[in-house]
Amino acid sequence: MMRLQRLGCRSMATSCMAFSGMFVASAAENPSPVKFTIEPGHAWTPPFGVERVGRPMDAVVELATDAKPTQEYTVVSYRDGKEVGRHRVNFPMNLLPLPKPECRFGRVTLADWPTEAALLVKGDGQAAPVEIARAKVVLPSFEAEAAARPDKVTNPVDLGAILPPADWLLLAGGQEAEVEVAALSRNRDLSGAFAAAWYESAPDHRVKIELALREGVKAQAKLSLGPAPKTLQRDTLHVAIVDGQGKEVWRKDIRVMLVPEPPKWPRFGAVATKLRYDAPILVNGKEPINYDEGWDPKLQDMVVFFPNGARWVFWRGASYCPFWAGRGNTGFGYEWAEIAGAHMVGAIDCVEPLQDKELRYGRVEIVESTPARVHVRWSYQSCDFLYKVWGDFAVEDFYFYPDGLGTRVLTLTAQPGIWVETNEFITFTPPSGYPLDMIPADFASLIWPQGKAEFRFPCFKNEQAEQWAKLNTVGGAPLLHRIRFGKSDRLAAIQYSPLGSSHDLPGFEPHYDRGTLATPMYWGYHWPLSRDFKTIWCYMEGNLDCIHETPAHNSSMHAGNPRPLRSQTGPMPNAQGKLETLQRDTWAWLIGMTDADDDQLRQWAQSYGNPPTLEAQGARAEAQSYWPERRALCLTVEKPTVTIAVAPNGRCVNPVFELRNAPKTLLSVKLGDQTLDRKQYAWDGATLWLAANLHQPATLKLEFADAKHPQNVSETGERLTERGQE
């Protein structure tokens, strides 16, 4: 998404119920109208779930844009006529440049449980503030909430699903779940009350637990449900609170997605599949589209599975723009080649592959999937909102290894001199997934050889001074970015290029709605999945309530383009096959999803940017012995026994060897004096991946079966080869 300018203040929410009346006040010192309301806390702000029950009310002040900026506003709270709290009102600026802001909002939380609140204003030259509005604080007589979660958290992708709504329950057939219930009765005791939960498919199998509801005291309880249905695809979980007389006083229905037989995936490998999504596709101004009818039925999704639990996904709903899918039901992507140029006459909205909602141009293919390496390719054309293209096209190759790390290789063929952006850090959230609930605050770590800076989001220039000071010491060192994108994920996404990187912190600024921080970074529901919503419309005029209808993306910052590995300009065919003068650039990054610590990541960066030197017997190094595109060391095998002296330039982490003309059967791998077992390497007949972290010179000895003497193929060697194909 093209970087949008910092914008002014306007509410994106469509409605917010106030428990008290709305007051319009004016005075000689304050000719502009002021609205003062007491209302529940903003739905996008913490606490969430059952912790929200009993949350104090907020006082909201709404000013017209012509109100004097020098005026001071204060909310004073009273309990039974006695002052119990006083809060200065701040009016945070929002992001929207156009149209002109219609109002400014300020909000304070009335944490002292008052019975009424007053708004005071102090104008220029006034000795004391003047009360201009007063409102009663009316609390709901009864509040309750329930949340359901599986007994064991599983990555939705492992169940064949993608980004299920955050307020649904996703279970494997027969899996158990837990329900947490909270309730607060403010005007009476509810003796004998209990909470109950049951599946609609099994109304006679209800789980109950006592819920002691004393007046003014919040009560919480947990219910453990038995096994979910094993044959159904969908169900409803009912949660109810019943008083001592058997009257149901509150109820919530939770949608349940069931997977009767979870699919079997490889431990490491790429798979073409169709990921399940049970909600419809939201379409602007039209009827929703059935998800299963959203694309050409021949098109599939593609997933790369890793032993450490990482999942790399090409989803039709994301226009095939790839992302890491986390176990906490969030995702993270590095962006793509977003372009802009003078030749793009008549472009409507941003020109990028995410606009290709119908997948008219984007395609994904599995080039290679072996025990040692996965190679997948994504080809696309950037188009505008109406699918118009200009002949530019890109190919992104991803090479992955069993350690969870690999490379992203982007080759863009486009008009010479165009503007291109290759790195925007984007987090995916599911429907009903509030950013402040799902995205960790400690979002970004920027790591370099001598240091690290860690930033919480939102990231402001006048905050976190110690981290800014650290970042100012980087000099010209390339940055390794580590991004945490799920609160329940131990793995984080990483990206690094030795050919340069940067940052645009504070990046996309947060969005404030009605005076409260709703999201710590840009939030937009025009992608993924939804259709016919423009980028700028979502950004400026969007409806926050759409969070419940479709997944969304959250953009934090950019990392800057590294120098290309290769660049050429000359006559080339464009995407339509027409010959014209074009420029072709290729970039490469080390990427991955890992729980590696800071020092390990520094070692990875050093290893990727500074390959070891090799001396080989029984093989010869190729003219280009190291290919950063594949993080691979390349040799041509000449004899059944190959000895390679590896001299690290600092560190050599999990090296990859491409061995041309090697016999298909690898009998043994020996590192120094140690013969490695099959868990310490992977071989596919051409590529050898080694689980080793070398910081001193070492000798690698490979014994292959001699194709001329098949009797040399030992039983052990055959067995190792078979295991390597598992």
Q: Which residue, chain included where needed, has tokens 């041309």?
A: 660
Binned at pLDDT 50, 70 and 90, residue 706 comes out as confident
Q: Report d(CA 611, CA 589) in Å as an integer.
A: 15
What percentage of residues in the chain have a pLDDT greater than 90? 84
What does the pLDDT look like over 414-438, one tens digit per residue?
A: 999 999 999 999 999 999 999 999 9
What does the pLDDT look like over 461-515, one tens digit per residue?
A: 889 999 999 999 998 899 999 999 999 899 999 999 999 988 899 888 888 888 9
Model pLDDT, residue 721: 32
Q: 709 and 663 in contact (C-beta within 8 Å)?
A: no
Would the pLDDT of 199 be above 50? yes
The number of beta carbons lying within 10 Å of the beta carbon of residue 432 is 16
Between residues 10 and 293, which one has the greater pLDDT?
A: 293
Q: 680 and 365 in contact (C-beta within 8 Å)?
A: no
Would the pLDDT of 524 be above 90? yes
What is the pTM (predicted TM-score) of this model?
0.92
Query: What sign has the CA pseudo-torsion 30, 31, 32, 37?
Result: positive
Mean pLDDT confidence for 231-260: 97
Model pLDDT, residue 520: 92
What does the pLDDT look like over 656-693, one tens digit per residue?
A: 999 999 999 999 999 999 999 999 999 999 999 999 99
Lowest-confidence segment of 158-167, 288-297, 461-470 by average pLDDT:
461-470
Binned at pLDDT 50, 70 and 90, residue 590 comes out as very high
Residue ranges with strand state E in 89-229: 103-109, 116-122, 130-136, 142-150, 169-172, 177-185, 194-199, 207-210, 219-224
Would the pLDDT of 178 be above 90? yes
Model pLDDT, residue 339: 95
Binned at pLDDT 50, 70 and 90, residue 127 comes out as confident
Model pLDDT, residue 70: 81
The chain-wide mean pLDDT, for the chain, equals 91
Would the pLDDT of 712 be above 60? no
Model pLDDT, residue 69: 75
Model pLDDT, residue 502: 85
Residue type, 63: L
What does the pLDDT look like over 44-91, one tens digit per residue?
A: 999 999 999 999 999 999 998 777 878 899 999 999 999 999 999 999
The number of beta carbons lying within 10 Å of the beta carbon of residue 259 is 20
What is the DSSP code (8-state) at residue 298?
A: T
Mean pLDDT confidence for 208-233: 96
Model pLDDT, residue 108: 96
Give Cβ neighbours of residue 395 (< 8 Å, ≥ 6 apart). 377, 378, 379, 410, 411
- Paired residues of 241 in beta bridges: 195, 250
Quick one: tokens of 474?
């980087």
Would the pLDDT of 714 be above 70? no
Model pLDDT, residue 95: 56
Q: 71 and 112 in contact (C-beta within 8 Å)?
A: no
What percentage of residues in the chain have a pLDDT greater than 70? 91
Q: How many helices (H) and strands (E) does the chain have?
A: 5, 50
Model pLDDT, residue 3: 39
What is the DSSP code (8-state) at residue 190?
A: B
Model pLDDT, residue 440: 95
Q: 139 and 57 in contact (C-beta within 8 Å)?
A: yes
Q: How far is CA 322 from CA 15, 311, 362, 512, 525, in A?
A: 35, 10, 11, 29, 17
Model pLDDT, residue 29: 44
3-class DSSP state for residue 541?
A: helix
Q: Report d(CA 349, CA 537) in Å as an integer.
A: 9
Model pLDDT, residue 541: 54
Mean pLDDT confidence for 110-127: 91
What does the pLDDT look like over 9-20, one tens digit per residue?
A: 333 333 333 334
Model pLDDT, residue 596: 97
Mean pLDDT confidence for 152-171: 97
> In degrees rounded to 5, what are phi and psi of residue 40?
-65, 160
Binned at pLDDT 50, 70 and 90, residue 448 comes out as very high
Q: 162 and 189 in contact (C-beta within 8 Å)?
A: no
Between residues 709 and 347, which one has the greater pLDDT?
A: 347
Mean pLDDT confidence for 274-283: 98
Model pLDDT, residue 577: 96
